[in-house]
Structure 1
């Protein structure tokens, strides 16, 4: 995982240098030829997607992206393709480039946040999730922020995020937790936040407060297996 993150950082640095000279090397074509080439590439891309030939689809997106640097749709589609294929390094690099162009691009923020998280680059994923929450008000992004803050041992920030969730979580909001190796269960966002609150207290050896938080989570969702297991750690 550390090697993957190092390669990501090196790629980011290399990308900054490449971007400075990319426009100079793009061959110039007249508008009519450019339009015809775009139409052909888009048709091939659509056919490749229809037949699940992702290598051809990516190739055509690269050609469209280089030929049309002003149109970010091709970069966005490429980032999504890499993300859906679990190629998180490529997905992260493209989405970070998109955010350089527009730091309020919701789709790019989502791809960047989840890709960086999958790569183990939690300190880089966190600001993406935080920005997502600020721009959208999405409580799941706030939960992800709180969970990463907890994993990074930034307990004060994590507790602030959790308290906001406990206050603002809507009854219909659910989040999945593993129940067994093959099963998951859905619990309310508020119960999940209280469970995380208990974990934060537990990490700080505040077992009385942790026990209260776990019990509150179980009161909301009596079948919440992880909260029940965590409660045992307070004895």
Structure 2
């Protein structure tokens, strides 16, 4: 976040003082306009809000900066990132969408939009955005998320295909997936086990209980403490 404070101050400085400005008759020196003075004031307010972990103050400051500089997609992206960090996923998705309308190649905005859509339950939009992100990044974790979203949306053939693509990656043995446990804690499991468990879920949904059982058992063999796979196997029985 400190990086974005510096970037934001530079951006506001460029927007505020890089344009033609009135000159005082006495000195001939350029003077900032009222809007430019406001932008710099709110940039400093934003910095103070971030410093003291007061995201509401920082958000208010960013919105005011954006009002004075509506065409600056970097300021809008900073606002979207802040909404995301505040877990205000609806506002994060809306601002990220507007960033992408101005700059379709903004990878950060694509990721914010995808995660935010997922968190507010807009699974179709999340999948569409993750797919756009994957086309630009060829990222392993993005395809992993796509496979699970496709399962949730009952696109079983596509989900299984992507799971198999990931299982065929040469570094699959080293990859981990983080799961939220029932007690609120988190635990890492091998991604390979998670993907094989996913194939078990798909098989079960398609009525192939024998294949589902085999996949769950394979997942448990890889990660003996993988409770989700154990639960799935127990439910199958």
Superposition TM-score tier, normalisation by shorter sequence = 0.7 to 0.9
Conserved 8 A contact 2:148-2:198: yes
Show CA shifts across 1:85-130 (max 9, x none): 1211111100011111222211111111111111111011101112
Counterpart residue number, 1:80:
81
Q: CA deviation at 1:137?
A: 2.4
Mark the runs of 5 or more structure 1 residues left unpaired by the alignment. 1-28
Counterpart residue number, 1:109:
110
Q: CA deviation at 1:55?
A: 2.7
Show CA shifts across 1:165-222 (max 9, x none): 1112533321122343233321111111111111011111111111222122122212
Counterpart residue number, 1:99:
100
Provide the alpha-carbon RMSD of the alignment. 1.9
Provide closer, same or farther for how the CA distance between residues 154 and 49 of structure 1 changes in structure 2, counting only shifts above 3 A: same
Mark the runs of 5 or more structure 2 residues left unpaired by the alignment. 1-18, 22-31
Conserved 8 A contact 1:41-1:60: yes
Look at both structures and tell me which one has the larger radius of gyration over its CA atoms. 2
Provide closer, same or farther for how the CA distance between residues 149 and 58 of structure 1 changes in structure 2, counting only shifts above 3 A: same
TM-score by length of 2: 0.80
How many residue pairs get aligned? The number is 207
Conserved 8 A contact 1:208-1:234: no
Conserved 8 A contact 1:214-1:231: yes
Q: CA deviation at 1:75?
A: 0.7
Q: Which has the higher contact order (CA 8 A, sep 6+)?
A: 1
TM-score by length of 1: 0.81
Q: CA deviation at 1:35?
A: 4.5
